[in-house]
Amino acid sequence: MAIINLLDNETINKIAAGEVIENPKSIVKELVENSIDAGADEITIEIKNGGKSFIRVTDNGKGIEKDQVENAFKRHCTSKISSSDDLNSLFTLGFRGEALASIAAVSKVEIITRTNDDIYGIKMTIEGGKIISKEDIGCPVGTTITVTDLFYNVPARKKFLKSDISESSNINEIVVSLALSKENISFKYINNNNVAYRTPKTNNLMNTISSLYEKDLYNSLLKIDYKGDVLGITGYTTNLNYYRGNRKQQIVFVNGRVIKHRRMSYFIEEAYNTLLPKNKYPACFIKIEIAPALVDVNVHPAKTEVRFQNEEMVLNEIKNAIYSALHSKSIMKEVKGETLLHDSKDINNLRIFDRSSGISVILGGLENKFTEETEETENIRITEVEISNKDIAVMESLKPYDKFEFKQQTFIKAENDEDKLPELFVIGIVMDTYIICENPEKTCMFMIDQHAAHERINYEKFLNQYNSREILIQEIVPEVINLSYDDYETAMSNIEIFEYLGISVENFGNNAILINNIPTIFKDSNLKDVFYAILDNLKDITKSNLDFVMEKIIKEACVKSVKSGDRLHMSEVRALLNDLRMTDNPYTCPHGRPVIIKMTRYEIEKMFERIQS
């Protein structure tokens, strides 16, 4: 018969340490958070070999009193709270009293600390949770903690550490996040004796971002300043000119604490719905201020997981905050001269034509043909093209956002004329794909992708039809689908959602359902595939119930759209631009690619070296 043993303190500490200290990154996070809580405004982080052999965190905070240093390394000893009631008004990053004890249990630790009231500081060394030495020492006010030989006494844990490069990358990620959380603190990060970066002590988050990220990201940032009923959201998010292949640059803080929240990432990306290419993600730095009583930070010892009292409200407020930031600026893609390839090998084959006027211009060689009168000025042949009032003026249209209906958000402000699309006159078409326009002031040239424009038009047309459920429902030969008990229960408990999606679901008994109607956009699809795709989405709380429908609408829009290379008459171009003018978002196709690109006169003349850059 097995004997139930009471574990000794050393074993208990090693087991408990595994929950808090998973890798060198965990140590850096806990030590830096302690420095922040100590009121430091200068923090230096040094690591070697990915933090596996050496980590040192130095701060100029208030320090630890001599008679309290030993208590700091005892489990569940903390200066942050005194009772459970304090958790409802918690603004410090640490509060569990586990970090230092956990670090000391699995490594060799040296602490040097002094308060402003003490003449001398104290130096104490600990190995495997046991105090080895303790002595007075001269040192500045603040605290320095050095951690060496991580997991030296837990070889099973040590062998699971990653390579030096991987561990260094993870540490860099958390240091960057912590630096962004407290822009009023200067962070210095040293890796293998080389200073990687140093952030300024500032009250402007943009200054901190500029010291940590590349110029392209910095120049693409849009300010977030949003006030909700119970929370405030500030920070920055990127416009459509910047995106990455992963979510590592989506950093969120709640009351100054770096957090991870899967559903929040989804709502952030919902704000960019159809605006970015598939599998591309925006960068954002979002700071949420909310009453501590409305958020639980005591979910996991790592303190990166949080639970909100009203999660759906918070997530929707975040999405609305990003909507507002995108809404505040025109999102038309603008091409700079330096982004163009200086490759003129195909210029001899470039044809520009305007079918309405009959102009045909071939650049290159000695051949220039015109069907209209031309005049010659300083050896430059100029064709005069008369623009009639029938040419298309592409103006923005507005549609208010209704959070209770799934529709495309408009991103143009009616009250700000600078954000409107200008009136555009059609000049011609190149490559049977790109419509060339200019504004009345002749200060900008615009290129419109006819396929992307038609995709946007069809996408919004199908989406509006779907939202209104007009002419979408099609009767079919009734089909019975046999389900597992779990699938049957999910389907029957979500009948209203299926009805909203235009699919009739009836109980047919014995875990079977009967379908009589489907939307016309699914008429060529396998009914079971459609049903199961929607059913799976209903089971996945991280996805919108309409995700699958949205994908179908996008695909349908693409199939029915004008293609690149399709020749359009000028009347068709006018109709296309008229329809584009009526869309909520004429700037991008449903896949996130640009519909219209602007080049200013300044950029064009700079490329032709008519002006000096």
Q: Tokens 């396929």 sit at which residue?
A: 451
- How far is the C-alpha of 204 from the C-alpha of 478, rounded, in Å? 63
Condensed to tens digits (0 to 9), the pLDDT of residues 484-507 reads: 777 888 888 888 878 877 788 899
> Which pLDDT belongs to residue 500?
74
Task: Decide which of 3.30.420.40, 3.10.20.10, 3.40.50.2300, 3.30.230.10 is the CATH code for 213-329.
Answer: 3.30.230.10
Is 405 in a helix, a strand, or coil? Answer: coil
207: DSSP letter: H
Selection from 34, 66, 64 nearest residue 142 by Cα: 64
- CA angle, 538 then 539 then 544, to 5°: 45
Is 92 in a helix, a strand, or coil? Answer: coil
Q: Is the dihedral of CA 443, 449, 455, 461 positive or negative?
A: positive
> Which pLDDT belongs to residue 55?
97
DSSP assignments along 194-205, one per residue: EEEEE----S-H
Residue spans of the chain under pLDDT 70: 1-2, 4-20, 76-97, 298-304, 329-422, 466-474, 521-525, 537-560, 612-613
Binning the chain into helix, strand and coil, the percentages to the nearest 5 are 35, 25, 40
Q: Contact 209/285 with Cβ under 8 angstroms? A: yes
> Which pLDDT belongs to residue 377?
32
Which positions ≥6 away from 564 have C-beta within 8 Å? 431, 432, 433, 449, 450, 451
Condensed to tens digits (0 to 9), the pLDDT of residues 369-393 reads: 333 333 333 333 333 333 333 333 3
Instruction: Retrieve residue 224's tokens.
Output: 């977030």
Strands across the sheet containing 194-198:
130-137, 121-127, 108-114, 142-148, 54-59, 42-48, 186-191, 194-198
Superfamily of domain 471-559: MutL, C-terminal domain, regulatory subdomain (3.30.1370.100)
Selection from 107, 112, 90, 104 nearest residue 37 by Cα: 90
Residue 456 dihedral angles phi and psi, to the nearest 5°: -60, -45
CA dihedral 226, 227, 230, 232 (to 10 degrees): 50
8: buried, middle or exposed (CB in 10 Å: 19+, 13-18, 0-12)?
exposed
Domain residue extents for the chain: 9-198, 213-329, 334-462+562-607, 471-559
Superfamily of domain 334-462+562-607: MutL, C-terminal domain, dimerisation subdomain (3.30.1540.20)
Residue 299 CB coordination number (10 Å): 13
Q: Contact 412/420 with Cβ under 8 angstroms? A: yes
> Which pLDDT belongs to residue 495?
86
304: buried, middle or exposed (CB in 10 Å: 19+, 13-18, 0-12)?
middle
Residue 99 amino acid letter: A
> Which pLDDT belongs to residue 558?
61
CA-to-CA dists, residue 181 to 109, 163, 289, 314, 318, angstroms: 27, 27, 12, 19, 17
CA-to-CA dists, residue 224 to 255, 287, 325, 376, angstroms: 16, 9, 5, 53
Which positions ≥6 away from 288 have C-beta within 8 Å? 231, 232, 233, 252, 253, 254, 255, 314, 318
Is 280 in a helix, a strand, or coil? Answer: coil
Instruction: Retrieve residue 124's tokens.
Output: 């104490």
Q: Is the dihedral of CA 606, 609, 610, 613 positive or negative?
A: positive
348: buried, middle or exposed (CB in 10 Å: 19+, 13-18, 0-12)?
exposed
> Which pLDDT belongs to residue 357?
36
Distance in angstroms between the alpha carbons of the first and the last residue of the chain: 86
> Which pLDDT belongs to residue 365?
35
- How far is the C-alpha of 301 from the C-alpha of 76, rounded, in Å? 12
Residue 85 dihedral angles phi and psi, to the nearest 5°: -65, -25
- 137-141 contacts at long range (C-beta below 8 A, 24 or more positions apart): 137/112, 139/112, 139/113, 139/114, 140/60, 140/114, 141/60, 141/62, 141/63, 141/114, 141/115, 141/116
Is 482 in a helix, a strand, or coil? Answer: strand
Task: Decide which of 3.40.50.1000, 3.30.565.10, 1.10.10.60, 3.30.200.20 is the CATH code for 9-198.
Answer: 3.30.565.10
Q: Contact 536/486 with Cβ under 8 angstroms? A: no
CA-to-CA dists, residue 118 to 37, 62, 258, 444, 579, angstroms: 20, 11, 33, 68, 76
- How far is the C-alpha of 533 from the C-alpha of 130, rounded, in Å? 57
CA-to-CA dists, residue 560 to 54, 459, 546, angstroms: 61, 10, 21
